[in-house]
Chains A and B, each alone.
Chain A
């Protein structure tokens, strides 16, 4: 009897453990939206920590007030693990998050992983005239131009797989007050940048002043520099062109710029790069507006607030386009979500309404609408907006549409620039080595 009792306890404990580990039951199949949606739906958005999440969170109360029945939860992840999380969602076909606030270079991974809903097909998503077309192009699949992945060169109509919410573009910053003081013109080409850097660089001054500044750790600025010099990783057929003349010139340019860096600048991340600028010790460099320029213009902590000039990236030569690099963020509707209609309602609300986009920018987000970029009140707060809009209209380039692109950029191109910055190899050697490595990497993809 005692044994039977103990066995019953064992069975009960095991059953409780198993049921606790089991996944929650899937909701019942539903019909049309009005009939389907339960009284209250909670949608979950995965995003990166920082200003990206802050802008979304700030607008939630207004959305929930205007859309009774839909609650919004924002799950911010540290930047370093965010991409891994998105990849994991695709691999596990998880509907844990209904909306993914995704960086544009991840689109190949997202679409290839079956993580996105085709918004044009499913919800008849359209393009708004107030939004630069390139901001839609970057979230379209297949890509409407540029290197198109071989599997998608089918002539299919590009459909929207995300709605842009942040129209980020990397730009160039320079100390306007020093230019004025020395009677120098703002740089138009990278040769101008080198000339200015040479003139103002004074590492032995007290305090020291450095001609150029960079996020050198892992060669973070590499791709932007490469494109602005007219180079690239791939041509339109996905042939590797990194080691062509323009590509090698870009790495050689970085070799020359490295002479004017702060000591250790080649190991800098964004934090150290910003610290050099706000303490008034650096002349110029490349930076993302969201994480750098807001700090430059913060009067409480910055010695250079109001003294900066923001420009599209310098060109390779006079008359060449000022090509920049895109870093747009958009809302992707998770194909595995169980609350697609509610999630789409949220995405529509965030994207298609000009007032909401303006509120988002006031809350710290980066605009994506032309009207918001040119809002006079916002420009007073964020003086880089006109230059950012100008860079956006060139148009800038997006990271190659390949699932391998992020890896190539981080694991091949970045280390190549880093090695050049450290003086270990020349720009010419680095571009040849990196070109060969990328060819090897792509053999498995294209063959």
Chain B
């Protein structure tokens, strides 16, 4: 009887993990050379080439094309970095960028808090029939931005809307939410928190389900309080999910356009113009797609930088411990 030459790798170690007992020659360096080094793989590679090409076309071609747009004028003439330099002087763009970041700063923590609260609640023993709770709680996620915006616009109506009813019961004068810049900002943040929190909830709930139950039992034996167990065990376990949720909520909240279209249309004045609204207006109303592409690049960079920061401090940090 021959002994099995390899043993299954441990989770996280992959196929070339330390436990692999190798009787074959060491693999060549680099992913591509490794792929092509095995005769059987060549066919496999050839079979994935069409999908790979499609992926490159869909993912990379628009980005390359966007760069070409940025570097040329609306008439197609080469202008170098003039579009980007013009953005630095464009006060309307600055306002839109600041508005997007402000939305992110308010909406991201609120969505994570609400999402985590809901996830803990549904994950707890208090919530029976979890499937029903989940399907109810993710309803806002299934509503389109425009529909959500229209629904909330009616709710914000000063005399007919539901939002002012509890305020009136408290003797507070009805607030005309969408007319003034500051209240319109709060109103839009509330819509986005309502709309995006279920995404954070779903991700964090999935994260909570990955936490082994027995560690809580061990912690209880050691006399840890619930708060201590949550802080020292639950949170570190769900940290990667937290990072993913943070990135996605940030992207969703800063790029929203349907909600703005349905509620404020950027008003009053330009008080609720975010980057998406600016790019849409510049591209399809003012017909300057080349200049708008420069703003697209800024939006892309903003998302990339924020994503890198979130991953660095929320995810990688844990792995390095």
Interface of A: prevailing SS: helix
A-chain residues with CB within 8 Å of residue B261 when the two chains form the complex = 80
Identify A419's interface contact among B46, B177, B265, B269, CB under 8 A: B269
| A411 in contact with B265 given A6-B43, A264-B157, A266-B179 (CB within 8 Å) | no
Q: Nearest residue in B to A258 (C-beta to C-beta)?
A: B179
The answer to whether A410 has its CB under 8 Å from any CB of chain B is yes
Are B176's CB and A217's CB within 8 A? Answer: no
Number of A-B contacts (CB under 8 A): 98
Are B286's CB and A407's CB within 8 A? Answer: yes
Q: Nearest residue in A to B280 (C-beta to C-beta)?
A: A84
Bound Cα distance A3, B261 (Å)? 56
Identify B285's interface contact among A3, A406, A422, CB under 8 A: A406
Q: Mark A407-431, 1 if CB is under 8 A from B, else 0.
A: 1101100011011011011000000
| A264 in contact with B43 given A415-B270, A418-B269 (CB within 8 Å) | no
The answer to whether B307 has its CB under 8 Å from any CB of chain A is no
| A415 in contact with B269 given A422-B179, A422-B181 (CB within 8 Å) | yes
> Considering only CB atoms and an 8 Å cut-off, how many residues of chain B contact the other chain?
34
> Considering only CB atoms and an 8 Å cut-off, how many residues of chain A contact the other chain?
41
- Nearest CB of A to B122, in Å: 36
The answer to whether B47 has its CB under 8 Å from any CB of chain A is yes
Bound Cα distance A30, B191 (Å)? 57
The answer to whether B109 has its CB under 8 Å from any CB of chain A is no
The answer to whether A109 has its CB under 8 Å from any CB of chain B is yes
Identify A7's interface contact among B43, B174, B269, CB under 8 A: B43
Are B178's CB and A109's CB within 8 A? Answer: no
Q: Nearest residue in B to A406 (C-beta to C-beta)?
A: B285
Bound Cα distance A425, B178 (Å)? 17
Among B156, B269, B287, the one with the most A-chain Cβ atoms within 10 Å of its Cβ is B269
The answer to whether B117 has its CB under 8 Å from any CB of chain A is no
Are B268's CB and A3's CB within 8 A? Answer: no
Bound Cα distance A406, B264 (Å)? 19
The answer to whether B50 has its CB under 8 Å from any CB of chain A is yes
Identify B287's interface contact among A109, A218, A263, A416, CB under 8 A: A109
B-chain residues with CB within 8 Å of residue A272 when the two chains form the complex = 157
Bound Cα distance A408, B284 (Å)? 12
A-chain residues with CB within 8 Å of residue B271 when the two chains form the complex = 419, 422, 424
Q: Nearest residue in B to A408 (C-beta to C-beta)?
A: B286
The answer to whether A83 has its CB under 8 Å from any CB of chain B is yes
Among B176, B178, B267, B288, the one with the most A-chain Cβ atoms within 10 Å of its Cβ is B267
The answer to whether B236 has its CB under 8 Å from any CB of chain A is no
Q: Nearest residue in B to A207 (C-beta to C-beta)?
A: B159
- 21 A-B residue pairs with Cβ-Cβ distance under 8 Å, sorted by A, are A6-B43, A13-B50, A216-B267, A262-B159, A263-B158, A263-B159, A263-B176, A266-B268, A267-B153, A267-B179, A267-B263, A411-B282, A411-B286, A418-B269, A419-B271, A422-B179, A422-B269, A424-B269, A424-B271, A425-B269, A441-B286
12 new A-B contacts at CB < 8 Å, known A264-B179, A272-B157, A411-B286: A10-B46, A218-B265, A267-B178, A267-B268, A404-B286, A406-B285, A407-B287, A407-B288, A410-B285, A415-B269, A419-B270, A422-B268
In the A-B complex, the 9 residue pairs with the closest CB atoms: A419-B269, A407-B286, A422-B268, A263-B158, A418-B267, A218-B265, A267-B178, A407-B285, A217-B265
B residues whose Cβ falls under 8 Å from a Cβ of A: 43, 46-47, 50, 74, 153, 156-159, 174, 176-181, 261, 263-271, 281-282, 284-288
